[in-house]
């Protein structure tokens, strides 16, 4: 059952990352449509012997093709790409949260000797009543909420992995890219994308990484479509890793 739910988490995250790609590329269809119509217009005009460059749509075509780099629109595109980072961090955090919830519920129901059985939880009657009536009762959810875990912080995620699973994915380029993305998400949301001392301290040791390897204090952090792809790929890889680790741990516990 848990394995099927894990597959659902991965599938849902892939759908969410695809929605981010669509947002990032929202203008492609519009640009291609306008470009095609202008090309047709230019072809018709030339057939009618209109060869005055001033009257032909060549310049308009050039502007359309370079619209993402146009100075007056560049800031808007940068904002969109930065918000894609914010969305990815949110989707990733939600997916990791679900992995832990499912894992905790599975081991609690199937393993008598797991240390989680000795955990004490607190929940008020109102919350308990709501959960049982809604048929959504989850010990994993209660435990996660009680620990007040931030799933937008890799440090918190790895602590929880060590405490309840006993193992974490290795620190590498994939993990570092996610840590950087999570730190960037904070300054995008709370600091107007301006790189401050706190951010620089957070990412000082986050190396090696491929996501914006060089950033400077006081600059405005700006992501491009390739950067969004790098982060989403890293998140997908990491989700697969923690699902593999938790699945193997569940199997080992069940054999005891």
Residue 100, classed as helix, strand or coil, is helix
- Structural domain includes residue 49: no
What domain range includes position 108?
75-255
Residue 123 CA to residue 14 CA, distance in Å, equals 34
- Structural domain includes residue 111: yes
Q: What would the mean pLDDT of 49-77 be, rounded to a whole number?
A: 77
Task: Give how many domains the chain has, as a whole number.
Answer: 1
Are the beta carbons of 181 and 211 closer than 8 angstroms? Answer: yes
- Structural domain includes residue 108: yes
pLDDT digits (tens, 9 = 90+) for 43-61: 888 887 777 777 778 888 8
- Residue 134: its pLDDT value, please? 62
Select the more confidently predicted residue: 189 or 125. Answer: 189
- Residue 175: its pLDDT value, please? 97
- Structural domain includes residue 97: yes
> What is the total residue count of the chain?
256
- Structural domain includes residue 164: yes
pLDDT at 132 over 80: no
- Structural domain includes residue 34: no
Are the beta carbons of 247 and 166 closer than 8 angstroms? Answer: no
- Residue 1: its pLDDT value, please? 65
- Residue 135: its pLDDT value, please? 62
Nearest to 155 by CA among 142, 140, 144, 171: 171
pTM of the model: 0.85
Nearest to 119 by CA among 146, 158, 79, 92: 146
Give the pLDDT band of residue 154 (cuts 50, 70, 90): very high
Return phi, psi of residue 58, to 5°: -60, -45
- Structural domain includes residue 25: no
Q: Between vectors from CA 82 to CA 190 and to CA 88, what angle results, nearest 5°? A: 95
Select the more confidently predicted residue: 111 or 107. Answer: 107
pLDDT digits (tens, 9 = 90+) for 88-104: 999 999 999 999 999 99
Which residue shows structure tokens 């989700």? 239
- Structural domain includes residue 80: yes
Residue 45 CA to residue 51 CA, distance in Å, equals 8
pLDDT at 165 over 80: yes
- Residue 153: its pLDDT value, please? 94
């Amino acid at each position: 059952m848990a394995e099927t739910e894990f597959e659902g988490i991965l599938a849902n995250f892939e759908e969410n990352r695809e929605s981010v790609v669509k947002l990032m590329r929202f203008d492609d269809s519009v640009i291609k449509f306008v470009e095609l119509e202008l090309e047709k217009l230019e072809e018709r005009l030339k057939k009618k012997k209109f060869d005055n460059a001033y009257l032909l749509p060549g310049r308009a075509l050039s502007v359309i093709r370079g619209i993402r780099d146009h100075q007056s629109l560049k800031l808007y595109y940068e904002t969109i790409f930065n918000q894609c980072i914010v969305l990815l961090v949110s989707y990733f955090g939600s997916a990791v949260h679900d992995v832990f919830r499912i894992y905790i519920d599975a081991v609690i129901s199937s393993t008598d000797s797991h240390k989680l059985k000795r955990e004490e939880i607190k929940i008020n009657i109102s919350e308990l009543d709501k959960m049982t009536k809604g048929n959504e009762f989850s010990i994993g959810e209660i435990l996660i909420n009680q620990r007040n875990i931030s799933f937008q912080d890799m440090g918190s995620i790895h602590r929880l992995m060590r405490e309840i699973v006993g193992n974490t994915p290795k620190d590498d380029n994939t993990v570092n890219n996610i840590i950087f993305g999570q730190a960037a998400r904070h300054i995008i949301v709370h600091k107007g994308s301006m790189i401050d001392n706190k951010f620089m301290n957070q990412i000082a040791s986050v190396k090696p990484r491929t996501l914006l390897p060089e950033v400077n204090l006081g600059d405005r952090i700006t992501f491009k479509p390739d950067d969004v792809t790098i982060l989403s790929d890293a998140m997908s890889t990491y989700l697969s890793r923690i699902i593999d680790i938790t699945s193997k741990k569940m199997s080992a516990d069940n054999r005891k």
